[in-house]
Chain A
Amino acid sequence: NAGVTQTPKFQVLKTGQSMTLQCAQDMNHNSMYWYRQDPGMGLRLIYYSASEGTTDKGEVPNGYNVSRLNKREFSLRLESAAPSQTSVYFCACNRDRSYEQYFGPGTRLTVT
Chain B
Amino acid sequence: KNEVEQSPQNLTAQEGEFITINCSYSVGISALHWLQQHPGGGIVSLFMLSSGKKKHGRLIATINIQEKHSSLHITASHPRDSAVYICAVIGGNQFYFGTGTSLTVIP
Contact = CB atoms under 8 A, between A and B. Distances in A.
A101 B33 contact: yes
Interface residues of A, dominant DSSP: loop
Interface residues of B, dominant DSSP: strand
Interface stretch (A15-23, A37-45, A75-83): A37-45
A89 to B, nearest CB: 11
Interface residues of B, number: 21
Contact of B99 (A41, A45, A100): A41
A108 B42 CA distance: 12
Interface stretch (B53-61, B72-80, B90-98): B90-98
B41 A42 contact: no
A88 interface: yes
Given A42-B99, A45-B95, A103 B43 contact: yes
Interface string B81-106: 00000101010000111111000000
Interface of A: 33, 40-45, 88, 90, 98-103, 105-106, 108
